[in-house]
Structure 1
Amino acid sequence: MTVNRRAVIAGLTAGLLLPRFAFAADLSLGDMRVETLSDGHLTLPRSMLFAGLEPEAVDDILQACGVAKGAILPPINVTLLRHEGRVVLFDAGSGPSFQASAGQLALALEVVGISPEEVTHVVFTHCHPDHLWGVLDDFDDPLFPNAEYLLGQGEWDYWFDPNTASTIAGERASMAVGAHRRLEVIEDRVTRFRAGDEILPGVLAHASFGHTPGHMSFELRSGTESLLIGGDAIGNHHVSFAEPSWPIGTDQDAEAAAQTRLRLLDMLALDQMQLIGYHLPKGGIGRVERQGSGFRFVAGVDI
């Protein structure tokens, strides 16, 4: 694995000042070129993430990781893969209809010289708003008009079911309605897959259920080199590393999510496989180290 470029881009593009930092972390994995692009960030109250946990214990972990007091501001890292003529996005960002601090993917793509029309595939980890809603533009038309969309069968079944909106927890009902509407728009171009499938050359789907019922992660492999695109299976760089068994409020099935998190962290630490996390800092690329009874995230590209 070699590094081509690693930079924070904050400058002029098409004569316009970028409204936010567009982080670009760039590495090569054999003949794969992998980048992470910023869609902005979320703004989440601590009560949403850490309800039911001991506040003082949570604060100790957050302070040790340098997290400021107040709302949590997780970054949104969309992975871009260029390989064998394909231009592949892993998730599509938030689009214009979710949070004002998000929805910057189209601008980040422009910075790295990719137009939406050039995207050949969009692969989804799951169907939460900050991963799916960016498939549509301001006019509710597909942002990536030439793309094939790939989504795990279980995730499709759950969010495309019209009954989900009436059976999901109340505060998530609007997410279910929004997911169903967007999936309807792209339905004819969606290919479904299952865990263990090689969905594209060198891209293997891993079951990582819990955050949502059909959440998937993806192993990219070229020869002996590999990395894991983890989506939200490991959703933060602080509490979920230090205490991976603790429940996180954004996980739909907290117990299953914790089991998945522990399994992935064990694997990543043991194999020293690079990780790209959707909400991890500094572009989301790093590795996992054991620390006491838990783990820690070490940001940066391993050379």
Structure 2
Amino acid sequence: MPFTRRRFLAGSAALPFVGALPRFAVAEMSIGSTTLTTVSDGNLVLPGSFIFEPMPKDELAPILTEFDLSNERLTPECNLTLYRDGTNTVLFDAGSGPDFMPTAGVLLDSLDALDLTPEDITHVVFTHAHPDHIWGLLDDFDDPLFTEATHMMGRAEWDYWWNPETVNTIGDARAAFAVGAKRRMEAIKDQVVFFDAGQEVLPGVAAVASYGHTPGHMSFEVRSGSDAALVIGDAIGNHHVAFRKPAWHSGSDQDLDMAAATRKVLFDRIMADQLQIIGFHLPNGGIGRVEAADEGYRFVQEDM
């Protein structure tokens, strides 16, 4: 399953705070007759503590050095997966929209660079309902942006964010996440299609339970015969600590224990089936493969 191409589209003006990060990063691969393309929604700017706070600092230090990371600030990419099979044009997640961070929310420009409009999207399939994955659902008039699309979300994820108690129990730091998710879900409540883990949500696309980052987080296996790839959303949320020390707790996860257990299950599956992966916050478009490394793993990308 080689990459068919990796490229940086026109429009690579520097984003605020980020320097030379390309604005429209695109990586692409084929699974049978299906094309999987990652389209950029920009990047986040996060305090290092958002991920690193629960981790043992002495063991973390050499990993930060290895990957040339700051423990003060992280700037992960946001890569949405675009699935095209000749009939369906599917987005996994909807991006941040204009209201979350000034460095994110460039999805429409990235789609335009591929000669696509929101009306071309036939399905929006959500991995989960954090702001950088669902806040781009609405347009400037608070109406659904993808007017021709069927919106699909795992039943457990929907129930969690729809619950009026979530905003009171999620913690002060994430209360705005709950409010923002509920407002956007209300806009599609009469049109949303629910699915459960293990269900084929579209031909050749099966939902894979990957709970922990959020209570109902889903990954998706895209398969054609023996060819397959795993769209992992935020279940494996970075290319450094999540790979090197998948059992460590990450501050970005809502259920720390469950998320760590999920990473183990996913890595076992990826290695056993030799799956390529597509990660929302993995670098250079987010498409690659996994290799064993010491007691953990490494994320490997191959340019053509």
TM-score normalised by the shorter chain: which range applies? over 0.9
Aligned-residue offset at 1:190: 0.6
Q: Which residue of 2 aligns with 1:67?
A: 69
Q: Which residue of 2 aligns with 1:5?
A: 5
Which whole-Å deviations, capped at 9, do the CAs of 1:231-280 have from their partners, x for residues lacking one? 00000110111111110001000000000001111221232210001100
- 8 A Cα contact 1:285 1:300, kept in partner: no
Counterpart Cα distance in 2 of 1:18 and 1:185: 33
Q: Which residue of 1 aligns with 2:292?
A: 290
Q: Which residue of 1 aligns with 2:171?
A: 169
Cα RMSD between the aligned structures?
1.6
Aligned-residue offset at 1:77: 0.5
Aligned-residue offset at 1:63: 1.7
Counterpart Cα distance in 1 of 2:91 and 2:300: 24
Which whole-Å deviations, capped at 9, do the CAs of 1:145-195 have from their partners, x for residues lacking one? 111001000000000112211121121111001100000001112100000
Q: Which residue of 2 aligns with 1:261?
A: 263
Identity rate, percent: 51
Runs of 5+ unmatched residues, structure 1: none
Question: What is the DSSP-based 3-state SS (H/G/I as helix, E as strand, rest coil) of the residue aligned with 2:105?
Answer: coil
One-letter identity of the residue aligned with 1:152: G
Counterpart Cα distance in 2 of 1:2 and 1:293: 26
One-letter identity of the residue aligned with 1:209: Y
Using the TM superposition, name which of 133-142 and 271-280 deviates more: 133-142
Q: Which residue of 2 aligns with 1:251?
A: 253
Counterpart Cα distance in 2 of 1:300 and 1:68: 25
Is 1:232 the counterpart of 2:228? The answer is no
Which whole-Å deviations, capped at 9, do the CAs of 1:117-147 have from their partners, x for residues lacking one? 1100000000000000011122212111111
Counterpart Cα distance in 2 of 1:104 and 1:11: 11
- 8 A Cα contact 2:209 2:216, kept in partner: yes
Aligned-residue offset at 1:219: 0.1
Counterpart Cα distance in 2 of 1:219 and 1:149: 18
- 8 A Cα contact 2:48 2:71, kept in partner: no
Residues 85-124 of structure 1: pairs in structure 2 closer than 5 A = 85-124=87-126
Aligned equivalent of 1:138, options 137, 140, 143: 140
One-letter identity of the residue aligned with 2:167: A
- 8 A Cα contact 2:48 2:70, kept in partner: no
One-letter identity of the residue aligned with 1:65: F
Counterpart Cα distance in 1 of 2:3 and 2:176: 41
Counterpart Cα distance in 2 of 1:253 and 1:214: 11
Is 1:281 the counterpart of 2:283? The answer is yes
- 8 A Cα contact 1:6 1:26, kept in partner: yes
- 8 A Cα contact 1:281 1:299, kept in partner: no
Counterpart Cα distance in 2 of 1:189 and 1:22: 30
Q: Which residue of 2 aligns with 1:181?
A: 183
- 8 A Cα contact 1:149 1:189, kept in partner: yes
Which whole-Å deviations, capped at 9, do the CAs of 1:14-42 have from their partners, x for residues lacking one? xxx79652011111111101100110001
Counterpart Cα distance in 1 of 2:72 and 2:254: 24
Aligned-residue offset at 1:53: 1.9
Counterpart Cα distance in 2 of 1:204 and 1:279: 21
One-letter identity of the residue aligned with 1:161: N
Aligned-residue offset at 1:70: 3.4
In structure 2, the CA distance between the partners of 1:69 and 1:251, relative to structure 1 (3 Å rule), is: closer
Counterpart Cα distance in 2 of 1:7 and 1:246: 33
Which whole-Å deviations, capped at 9, do the CAs of 1:70-110 have from their partners, x for residues lacking one? 30111000000111411100011100110000001010000
Using the TM superposition, name which of 34-43 and 263-272 deviates more: 263-272
- 8 A Cα contact 2:150 2:193, kept in partner: yes
Runs of 5+ unmatched residues, structure 2: 16-21
- 8 A Cα contact 1:2 1:29, kept in partner: no
In structure 2, the CA distance between the partners of 1:242 and 1:185, relative to structure 1 (3 Å rule), is: same
One-letter identity of the residue aligned with 1:7: R
Aligned equivalent of 1:213, options 215, 222, 225: 215
In structure 2, the CA distance between the partners of 1:174 and 1:69, relative to structure 1 (3 Å rule), is: closer
- 8 A Cα contact 2:278 2:288, kept in partner: yes
Structure 1 runs of 4+ aligned residues shifted over 6 Å read none
Aligned-residue offset at 1:2: 4.6
- 8 A Cα contact 1:121 1:148, kept in partner: yes
One-letter identity of the residue aligned with 1:8: F
